[in-house]
DNA sequence: AGCACGCCGACT
DNA sequence: GTCGGCGTGCTC
């Protein structure tokens, strides 16, 4: 009797064995979902193995209830990918597998295959053509519009229908029921290479051409390529040409981007270049059905370009031919809870597994990636100049705030530069990476500062909303009128955020059109897209905003960038702070002067001689990267060492710390592996739970992995009252 | 993670 | 005398 080995979404590091259902199973059922009894409930999991025997005693074995054969099974490559992630990140296989599936496949309801909305067409029946539109009630606007349009165009797809009215799908259903309209399958958009637009492609720079010429002959083999291009150097164009190559060979391309924000823009660019190609996007902003549609098209090999955020890295892609990770240095590729994977690293595994190239693109590669490039593990290609004719890198200057007065955190040279920009009708960007009005509310009498009661953090003043807010847990409370400690009225916001800078600039430039862009102002659905449009269409003069502005956008008429307050990160205890600050400033600075008008960047700082600002002024990523790498080498930090954290959360910090101490004491630490003392996390309390961690590191990734594996087995059986723990391999935050 | 079983405090 | 607190143990 065959035994089904099922991966279930439970935090247990085992598979569960089941007898096959009465309907039987076949070898083809590896990789399909099964509904099984589990404890008192039933659960849906994935069959990852079919065995001939079970170690579980026969009387305990239950019978699987149902095998879902509604969609094709997950291919062996996907199961291997999940197994790799489970082993490398030391996370239960069941959680890894179920985390990789769209929600619709995790439920215990069978998935009803509906015809994809894009490929259904509608047309009038004979009855429909004779029907009298005026007989339709006037308030049925959707129905009227649909019928009118159908009479004009004879066939339309559901996409077009939706554009006519939000209620189109409902109206269509009614019309179908009346037999006025019928559904017809439309031919899939043709994917023939000849359909690609080949005329009027942009001219390539020499460096772009070189990059393509170097990669193209090796487009069918695995290599990790670092495409290191300055801001505005046209990395996207290189992606497009390489994708086009693979499209001609009927291969799929997976494109990973750091944020949802960037998908619409990139999607538009890709669709414009490849109008007849099937492109799907995959990110957390989709509805369960949309996500399911995209996933299915990808899994069946119909979608040729898959554009998504980190979660897209788990999509089965039978014809994978190329992987692109844009802005590879971005932190958001690392998941910060549950399965703590790095989508960039998982993507490299996938490329290797499929034997296809992967392109890591960035203007400021992570030091890990850079190090791999200089040591030759990755192949590096440079794009050193901007792609737009006459566009040069902006001139970067520092304003020494030790001897230049600032008023409300803005110095006179910045004001002058903004004035000049306004006079020229060019746009400017004021970067301050801190949203809200002020980062802290202080009592000047007793020194009290408003703090979050659930987190170890200060509350941020949001003056416009008259609220104090915690940026970590979202808690908010009304703005107090007196100090709650001493009753004094002398409480005042201290420091500067986007709201405050916006207010200051509004006073200076009453006639300028100022737009604030941060998570608060872009929270409303589609707000950011609308704001982008306003910027592109020159309805804004000065942009005040956070890092949202830093990423990937082309503002053609933007000539000035000012950076107000970035010194704090210079002397942070986090050894990655400099790397991040540099990347961020380089990205923001890179917004200036992209369209061919000369750009200027002003940085207010008390440390203009700091090597980081020096490198920034020279646009010299390499020399700073070399310096930082040397520092990391001497200090024994990554990439010269491999790290992992054992993280523990508990209501009381002492419990978390003592759990970690026990965990550390119960294991023999092998040669070449170091285990450090438990310490409270940087943000020691978050949403009411105390957090601590323990650092483990080794020069040998293999030794570290072996140790973690053995340790985890012991941790699994360690009684952990009140404490929740996880392993974080290759941690980025401490 | 759920979910039950199980043994000790304040209530109809 | 019960209702219910959350400690401990199990899930094929």
Q: Which single residue has its CA nearest the C1' atom of nucleotide C9?
A: A719
What pLDDT shows up at residue A113? 63
- Mean predicted confidence (pLDDT) in A350-366: 98
Mind giving me the DSSP string for A1-49?
--EEEEE-SSS-SS-EEEEPPTT---GGGTT-EEEEEETTEEEEEEEEE
Q: Check residue A525 and report its DSSP letter.
A: T
pLDDT at A257 over 80: yes
Which nucleotides of chain C does any protein CB come within 7 A of? 7-12
DSSP string, A245-297: HHHHTT-EEEEE-S-GGGHHHHHHHHHHHSTTS-EEEE-TTS-HHHHHHHHHH
- The per-residue pLDDT for A195 is 46
Q: How far is the CA of A266 from the C1' of B2 (A)?
A: 42
What's the CA A318/C1' B2 distance, rounded, in angstroms?
36
The distance (Å) linking the CA of A484 with the C1' of C5 is 35
Tokens encoding A198:
């080949």
At A310 the pLDDT is 98
Q: Which residues 2-31 on A are within 7 A of strand B at the CB atom? A: 10-12
Q: Would you say A416 and A407 are in contact if contact means Cβ atoms under 8 Å apart?
A: no
* CA dist., res. A727 & res. A50, Å (int): 29
On whether the CB atoms of residues A484 and A453 are closer than 8 A, the answer is: no
Lowest mean pLDDT among A147-161, A272-286, A311-325, A484-498: A147-161
Spatial separation of the C-alpha atoms in residues A88 and A702, rounded to whole Å: 10
Cα(A537)–Cα(A309) distance, rounded to whole angstroms? Answer: 28
Residue, of A167 and A604, whose pLDDT is higher? A604
Q: Are strands A724-729 and A642-650 parallel, antiparallel or unpaired?
A: antiparallel
Q: CA A215 to CA A207: how far, in whole Å?
A: 12
Give me the residue label for tokens 């993507």: A347
Task: Give residue A190's pLDDT band: very low, low, confident or very high (50, 70, 90).
Answer: very low
Tell me, in Å, how far CA of A469 is from C1' of C4? 37
Confidence band of A163 (pLDDT split at 50, 70, 90): confident
Nearest nt (C1') to A10 (CA)? B1
**Which of A173-177, A305-309, A370-374 comes out lowest in average pLDDT?**
A173-177
C-alpha distances in Å from residue A72, one per residue of A87, A230, A321, A495: 25, 43, 21, 57
Residue A66 pairs with which residues in a beta bridge? A35
The answer to whether A563 and A431 are in contact (CB under 8 A) is yes
Please check whether residue A594 is in contact with residue A464, taking contact to mean a CB–CB distance below 8 angstroms: no
Which tens digit of pLDDT belongs to each residue from A67-90?
A: 999 999 999 999 999 999 999 999
Q: Is the CB of A41 under 7 A from strand B?
A: yes
Mean pLDDT value across residues A146-154: 83
At A683 the pLDDT is 94
Give the distance, in angstroms, between residue A716 CA and nucleotide B6 C1': 24
Average pLDDT (A711-728) is: 90
Residue at shortest CA–C1' distance from C10: A39
Q: What is the mean pLDDT of chain A?
A: 93
**Separation CA A711–CA A613 (nearest Å):** 43
pLDDT band for position A198 (cuts 50, 70, 90)? low
Q: Residue A667 contacts by C-beta under 8 Å, 6 or more apart in sequence?
A: A675, A710, A711, A714
Largest CA distance in chain A: 86
Residue A68 in tokens: 């879902």
Segment A579-595, tens digit of pLDDT? 999 999 999 999 999 88
CA of A720 to C1' of C5 (A): 20
Per-residue model confidence as pLDDT tens digits over A291-330: 999 999 999 999 999 999 999 999 999 999 999 999 999 9
> Across the beta sheet with A476-478, what order do the strands follow?
A460-462, A467-469, A476-478
For A577, counting Cβ atoms within 10 Å of its Cβ (0-12 exposed, 13-18 middle, 19+ buried), the class is middle
A406: nearest Cα among A491, A508, A512? A508
* % of residues, chain A, pLDDT over 90: 80
- What pLDDT, on a 0 to 100 scale, did the predictor assign at position A186? 67
Q: Residues of chain A with pLDDT > 70: what percent? A: 97
pLDDT digits (tens, 9 = 90+) for A617-674: 999 999 999 999 999 999 999 999 999 999 999 988 999 999 999 999 999 999 999 9
Query: What number of other Cβ atoms are within 10 A of residue A685's Cβ?
Result: 21
Q: For chain A, how far is it from start to end, CA to CA, in angstroms?
A: 49
| Mean pLDDT to the nearest integer, A94-100 | 97
Q: Which positions of chain B lie under 7 Å from any protein Cβ? A: 1-4
Q: Give the helix/strand (H/E) hosting A171.
A: helix A168-177
- Whole-model pTM: value is 0.89
The enclosing H or E element of A106 equals: helix A103-106
A643 near A603, Cβ under 8 Å?
A: no
Q: How confident is the model at residue A191 (pLDDT cuts 50, 70, 90)?
A: very low
A15, A51 contact by CB (below 8 A): no
Query: Does residue A37 lie within 7 Å of nucleic acid chain B, judged by its CB?
Result: no
What pLDDT, in 10s, does the model give residues A463-516? 989 999 999 999 999 999 999 999 999 999 999 999 999 999 999 999 999 999
Cα distance between residue A55 and residue A58, in whole Å: 9
Of A154-163, A193-202, A478-487, which has the strongest mean pLDDT?
A478-487
Give the nucleotide nearest to A95 (CA→C1').
B1
CA of A202 to C1' of C3 (A): 76
Q: For residue A539, give the 3-state DSSP assignment.
A: coil
């Amino acid at each position: 009797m065959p035994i089904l080995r099922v991966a279930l979404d439970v935090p247990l590091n085992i598979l569960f064995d089941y007898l096959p259902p009465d309907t039987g199973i076949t070898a083809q059922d590896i990789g399909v979902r099964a509904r099984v009894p589990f404890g008192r409930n039933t659960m849906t999991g994935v069959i990852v193995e079919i065995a001939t025997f079970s170690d579980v005693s026969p009387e305990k074995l239950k019978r699987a209830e149902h095998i879902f054969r509604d969609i094709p099974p997950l291919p062996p490559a996907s199961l291997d990918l999940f197994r790799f992630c489970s082993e490398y990140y030391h996370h239960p296989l069941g959680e890894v597998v179920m985390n990789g599936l769209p929600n619709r496949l995790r439920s215990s309801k069978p998935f009803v295959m509906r015809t994809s909305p894009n490929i259904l067409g509608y047309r009038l029946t004979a009855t429909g053509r004779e029907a009298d539109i005026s007989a339709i009630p006037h308030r049925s606007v959707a129905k009227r519009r649909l019928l009118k349009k159908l009479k004009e165009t004879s066939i339309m797809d559901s996409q077009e229908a939706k554009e006519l009215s939000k209620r189109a799908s409902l109206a269509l259903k009614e019309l179908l029921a009346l037999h006025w309209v019928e559904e017809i399958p439309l031919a899939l958009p043709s994917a023939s290479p000849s359909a690609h637009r080949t005329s009027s492609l942009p001219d390539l720079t020499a460096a772009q051409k070189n990059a393509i010429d170097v990669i193209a002959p090796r487009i069918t083999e695995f290599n990790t390529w670092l495409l290191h291009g300055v801001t505005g150097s046209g990395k996207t164009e290189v992606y497009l040409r390489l994708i086009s190559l693979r499209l001609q060979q009927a291969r799929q391309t997976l494109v990973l981007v750091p944020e949802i924000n960037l998908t619409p823009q990139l999607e538009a660019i890709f669709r414009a270049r490849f109008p007849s190609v099937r492109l799907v996007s995959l990110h957390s902003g989709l509805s369960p059905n949309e996500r399911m549609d995209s996933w299915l098209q990808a899994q069946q090999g119909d979608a040729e370009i898959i554009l998504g955020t980190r979660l897209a890295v788990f999509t089965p892609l039978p014809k994978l031919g190329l992987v692109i990770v844009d802005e590879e240095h971005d932190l958001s590729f690392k998941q910060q809870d549950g399965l703590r994977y790095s989508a960039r690293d998982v993507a490299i595994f996938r490329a290797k597994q499929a034997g296809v190239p992967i392109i890591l693109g960035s203007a400021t590669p992570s030091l890990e990636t850079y190090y791999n490039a200089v040591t030759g593990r990755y192949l590096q290609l440079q794009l050193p100049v901007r792609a737009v004719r006459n566009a040069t890198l902006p001139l970067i200057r520092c304003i020494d705030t030790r001897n230049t007065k600032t008023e409300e955190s803005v110095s006179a040279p910045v004001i002058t530069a903004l004035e000049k920009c306004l006079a020229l009708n060019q746009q400017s960007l004021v970067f301050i990476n801190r949203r809200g009005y002020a980062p802290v509310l202080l009592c000047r009498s007793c020194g009290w500062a408003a703090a979050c009661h659930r987190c170890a953090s200060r509350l941020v003043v949001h003056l416009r909303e008259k609220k104090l807010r915690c940026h970590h847990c979202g808690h908010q409370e009304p703005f107090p009128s007196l100090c709650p400690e001493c009753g004094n009225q002398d409480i005042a916001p201290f420091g500067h955020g986007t709201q405050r800078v916006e207010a200051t600039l509004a006073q200076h430039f009453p006639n300028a059109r100022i737009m604030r862009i941060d998570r608060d102002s872009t929270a409303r659905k589609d707000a950011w897209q609308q704001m982008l449009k306003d910027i592109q269409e020159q309805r804004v003069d000065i942009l005040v905003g956070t890092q949202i502005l830093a990423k990937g956008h082309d503002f053609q008429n933007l000539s000035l960038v000012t950076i107000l307050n970035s010194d704090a990160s210079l002397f942070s205890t986090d050894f990655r702070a400099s790397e991040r600050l540099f990347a961020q400033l380089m990205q923001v600075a890179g917004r200036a002067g992209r369209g061919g008008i000369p750009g200027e960047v002003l940085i207010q700082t008390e440390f203009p001689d700091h090597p980081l600002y020096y490198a920034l002024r020279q646009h010299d990523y390499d020399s700073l990267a070399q310096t930082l790498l040397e520092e990391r080498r001497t200090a024994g930090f990554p990439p010269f060492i491999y790290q992992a954290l054992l993280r523990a959360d508990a209501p009381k910090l002492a419990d978390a710390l003592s759990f970690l101490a026990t965990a550390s004491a119960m294991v023999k630490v092998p040669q070449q592996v170091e285990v450090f003392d438990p310490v409270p996390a940087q943000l020691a309390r978050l949403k009411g739970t105390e957090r601590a961690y323990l650092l483990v590191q080794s020069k040998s990734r293999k030794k570290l992995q072996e140790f973690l594996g053995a340790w985890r087995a012991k941790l699994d059986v360690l009684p952990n009252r009140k404490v929740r723990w996880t392993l974080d391999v290759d941690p980025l935050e401490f």
